[in-house]
A and B are shown apart, each in its own frame.
Chain A
Amino acid sequence: MGHLLEVNGLEVKFALRFGDLTAIDGISFTLDKKEKLGLVGESGAGKSVTGFAVINLISKPGFISGGSIRFEEHELNRLPEEKMRSIRGNRISMIFQDPMMTLNPVLTIGTQMIETVLAHRDASKSDARDIALEKLRKVYIPSPEKRLEQYPHELSGGMRQRIVIAIALLTNPALIIADEPTTALDVTIQAGIMELLSQLCETENMGMILITHDLAVVSQVTQRIAVMYAGRIIETGPSDYIVNCPRHPYTIGLINSLPGARKAGSRLTQIPGMMPNLTAIPPGCAFHPRCRLQEPVCKKSRPALEPVSAPEHFAACHQVDKTVDQDKLLNLLNEDNQ
C-alpha cells in the first residue's frame, strides 16, 4: 500500500540577514491512511515548521530548500500555487494551537465556515451552510444554527477549538495536522478535545500528525511517534516502544521527566541544559553537550537514524547499545507476539 504522506529528506531554511538558518535538517517520515503520528520535541525543535512545510505555508523568510513531500499522488513542493491551494484546507487541514487567535475576530463563525467550503466545492451558500451545521454537530456544538451567527469572542476557548476542528472537517480531508491543539486550553477540557479529535480521525477516516511537546498525550493517541531535536528526527517508532523502552538518551530524558510515566524507584529528572540555538548547533550529535552517555565520537560525527532492537524503531545515537532495557523490551516483544 502506498503511503498517504511520504516526507523524504525535508530541509527548511530561513533566509536571515547573516545567512541561511537551517531549521529542518533532512527529516523523513511516512504516514499511512488513517494513521496517527506524534511529533514531539522541545520548543524550537522544528515541529511547527515541519507541519507548515507539508502544506507549503512556511512564514517568510522560510523556504523549503530540499527533499520531497509526497501526498496522495502529488509532489507537494513542486505543485503550482493554485493547485497547492486546492489541496490545502481541502485534502489536508490544519488545526492551530491557540483558538483565541485562529479565528478572525471580525467575521462570524458562519462566514468563516462557509467560505472554506466554497473555496473547495462547487456548492451553493445554503449547501455550504448545511455542511457547516453537520460538522458542528459532529464536534458536539450545542445549538449550531445560533453559532453560525456568532463572533469568535462570544464563545469560550474550548468551544472555539471545537469550531476550528469542525472547520478542519468541512472538506473531509485525508490528513489533519494538529499543532498543539490543546496547549492553549484549560487543563480541564484538554483531554476532552484530544479525545474528540482522536475519535474523529477514526470515524472520518483521517490520518493525523499530532504535534505536541507532551509525550504523555501523544502516546495515548498515536500509533507512532517521531521525536525531534534541533531540526532532526532523533528517534522514531511505535508509540509503545518509544514510551516504554526509548533508546535515544534525549527521549529517555523526556520520558523520565514525565510525572506519570517514570519507572518505579527512579528519580524524576529533568534533562540538564537547553536545546541549542539553531545558529549554534554543536558538531557531531546535537544532543551531546547534554548527554550523560557521551563519548569522544559523539562530538565528531553525527549519528544517523539506525534500526534498533524492535521493528520499525529507529534511533540516531552512537551510544544506543548502552540504552537497552532488556526486560522491558522482552516484555513488549512478548506482548506483540501474543
Chain B
Amino acid sequence: MFAFIVRRIIQAIFVMVIIAGIGFTVQNKLGDPVRDMVGERVSVAEREALRDKLGLNDPFLTQFGRFVRNAVHGDLGISYFHNKPTVDVILSKAPATLELVFGSTVMILVLCFPIGIYTAIKPKTWFSRFVMGSSTIGVAVPVFLTAITLIYIFGVELKWLPSYGRGETVDIWGWDTGLLTADGLLHLILPSISLSSIMLPLYIRLIRSEMMEVLETEYIKFAWAKGLRRYRVWLVHAFKNTLLPVVTVFGVEIGILFAFTLLTETVFQWQGMGFMFLEAVERSDTALLVAYLVVVGVMFVVINTLVDIAYGFINPMVRITGAK
C-alpha cells in the first residue's frame, strides 16, 4: 500500500510538471510581462533592456526552470489588472469556488447513492421510471438553462431563494466562508443545484447500472443463499462492490465539475475563480490566466491522487499487491 501511494504521488508530480509546461508555454507565447509591468507607453528599446534584465531572452529551458522554481515558491507572476500577485488574487477567490464545488459534491453524493441503489433494486416502480426518464433529460439540458430556470422559478417568481452572489460570509483564518452563515448557505443552494445537475444524472445512472450488474453476480447469489437479510446483501455485499468504479469515475468527473464552475459562477455572479477567469479573459490578463490554469491543474491532480488512494483503501486487491 505504501509503495502504491508513493507511486501515485510520483505520477502526480509528473502530471504537475506537464501542467506547468503548458502554463509556461501559454505565457511565453501569449503574454508579455513587460507590457504587464510598464504598460504600452514605454519605448521599444527600453522594453528590450527590461526584457534582458528579467531574463526573458534566456534559453527556453532556463526560463522554464525559473518558472517552475517560482511556482513552487508560490510565485506565478503579477496580475496587471489587479496589480497584485496572481496567486493572491486566485487564493482570495478560491474559497468561493471550492465551496461551490463542495456544495454540489455533497448534493451529488447525498442523492446519487440512495437513488442509484433504489432504482437498481426496484427498477419497475414508478419512482424509478420517473428518475430514469428525467435523468435522460437532465443529461441533455445545458447547465446555464438549468441555472436560469432555477433563478426564474425560485428567485424571481417564488422569491424563496437568493440567486445572486454569495451572501453573507465570515472570515475563518483567512478563509472567506459562506458555509457558516444561514444567508451564505441559502445563497449556495441554487448554484449548487445547477452545478450538480450535470453530474447527478450521470452518477445515478452509473451507480444503477453498476449495482444491477453486481446484483447478478454469483457472490450475491451466494449471499442470498446464506440467508442474509436483504439490506445486508444490498448495502454491504452489492454496494461495496459498486463503490469501486464510482470512486474512480468520481476522480475524473470532479475536474469536469470545476470546468463547469466557469458557467455557473457567471450566471450566479458568484465571485469565485471561474468568474475571475472569465474576467481575466476579457482583460487579456495573461499572467492571471496562466496562474489559474496551474492552480486548478494542481488542485485537480491532488484531488485525483487522493481519490486513487481512497480507491486503494476500498479495494483489497490494490491494498495487498500494491498494483493494478
Contact = CB atoms under 8 A, between A and B. Distances in A.
A106 B225 contact: no
A23 B317 CA distance: 38
B203 to A, nearest CB: 20
Contacts of A105: 219, 241, 316-317
A85 interface: yes
Q: Give the interface SS of chain B, mostly helix, strand, loop or mixed.
A: helix
Interface string B297-320: 000000000000000001111001
Given A59-B221, A107-B237, A151 B316 contact: yes
A152 to B, nearest CB: 9
B312 to A, nearest CB: 13
Interface in B222-248: 222-229, 232, 236-237, 240-241, 244
Interface in A134-153: 151, 153
Interface string A92-105: 01101010011111
Contact of A115 (B221, B228, B314, B320): B228
Contacts of A57: 221, 224-225
Contacts of B226: 88-89, 93, 115-116, 119, 167
Given A106-B240, A115-B232, A120 B218 contact: no
A228 interface: no
Contact of B218 (A101, A107, A154): A101
Contact of B232 (A88, A96, A119): A119
Contacts of A301: none
Contacts of A102: 218-219, 222
Interface in B195-233: 216-229, 232
Nearest to A177: B225
Contacts of B227: 85-90, 116, 119-120
16 contacts: A57-B225, A86-B227, A88-B224, A88-B226, A93-B226, A101-B217, A104-B237, A106-B240, A106-B241, A106-B316, A108-B316, A115-B236, A116-B227, A119-B232, A151-B317, A153-B320
B313 to A, nearest CB: 11
B238 to A, nearest CB: 9
Contact of B219 (A103, A151, A153, A154): A103
Contacts of A107: 236-237, 240
A119 B229 contact: yes
Contacts, number: 80
B239 to A, nearest CB: 10
B27 to A, nearest CB: 46
Interface residues of B, number: 25
Nearest to B222: A102
A108 B229 CA distance: 18
A336 B227 CA distance: 42
A16 B317 CA distance: 38
A89 B228 contact: yes
A55 interface: yes
A104 B221 contact: no
Contacts of A154: 320
B241 A104 contact: yes
A103 B222 CA distance: 8
Nearest to B320: A154
Interface size bucket, A side?
A: 20 to 34
A154 to B, nearest CB: 6
Contacts of B317: 105, 151, 153
Contacts of A120: 227
Contacts of A153: 316-317, 320
Nearest to B216: A59
A119 to B, nearest CB: 5
A86 B222 CA distance: 15
A55 B241 CA distance: 25
B314 A106 contact: yes
B316 A116 contact: no
A106 B219 CA distance: 11
Given A101-B217, A106-B316, A116-B228, 6 more contacts: A57-B224, A93-B226, A104-B223, A104-B241, A115-B228, A153-B320
Nearest to A56: B224
Contacts of B218: 96, 98, 101-102
A297 B317 CA distance: 60
Contacts of A55: 225
Interface in A117-138: 119-120
Contacts of A106: 240-241, 244, 314-316
A102 B223 CA distance: 8
A71 B159 CA distance: 65
Interface string B87-120: 0000000000000000000000000000000000
A93 B228 CA distance: 12
Contacts of A98: 218
Contacts of B229: 85, 119
A245 B25 CA distance: 86
A320 B201 CA distance: 64
B225 A89 contact: yes
Contacts of A101: 217-219
A59 B317 CA distance: 29
A267 B39 CA distance: 101
Nearest to B228: A119
Interface in A208-252: none
Nearest to B315: A106
* Of B217, B226, B314, most A-chain CB atoms within 10 Å: B226
Contacts of A59: 216, 221
Contacts of A93: 225-226
